[in-house]
Amino acid sequence: MNRFLGTAAVILALAAPAVANAQGVPGGIEQGARDGERAAGPLGAVVGGTIGGVVGGVAGVLGVDDRPRFHSYVVEQRRPSYTYRDELRVGAVLPAEGVTYYEVPDRFAAAREYRYTVVNGRTVLVEPRTHRVVEIID
């Protein structure tokens, strides 16, 4: 057990700088797992993915300063809201049909690879290929 904890501590120390730059929970998990696996194999992937998800969940895709500015931008655009019957949460997959996805303006560079839409009156960032919600902007 002590060996496992020691190994986990080493992996944490090696992977922490890499996952600190992760954006969003999904991206943080994926990047943390890759970096952890490179640093310490399969156990590193598990630890790195967990840490990346936690760090990414705190930071989100948009930085703390960009979130209110982005929300104001979307409100100014007066985009129609799509009614989603399931629980709206990060990781939910929105339908390809019936939802309009909009490009993120260049001034929000951290989120340029995503699209946004309004669902149940809430602004969400979505991964364009899968339509998976990566962040809810309140």
Strands annotated E in the chain:
102-103, 115-119, 122-127, 132-137
Distance CA 44, CA 42 (A): 5
For 100-115, letters b (16+ CB in 10 Å) and e give: eeeebeeebebbeebb
- 67-103 pLDDT, tens digit per residue, is 999 999 999 999 999 999 999 999 999 999 999 999 9
Terminal C-alpha separation, the chain: 43
Q: Which of 44, 54, 55, 48 is nearest to 21 (CA)?
A: 55
Q: Note the pLDDT of residue 83.
A: 97
What residue ranges of the chain have pLDDT lower than 50? 16-23, 55-57
Distance CA 17, CA 31 (A): 11
- Predicted structure pTM score: 0.59
Q: Which of 88, 90, 94, 8 is nearest to 49 (CA)?
A: 8
Q: What's the Cα-to-Cα distance from 75 to each of 20, 68, 123, 135, 137, rounded to whole Å?
A: 30, 11, 9, 17, 11
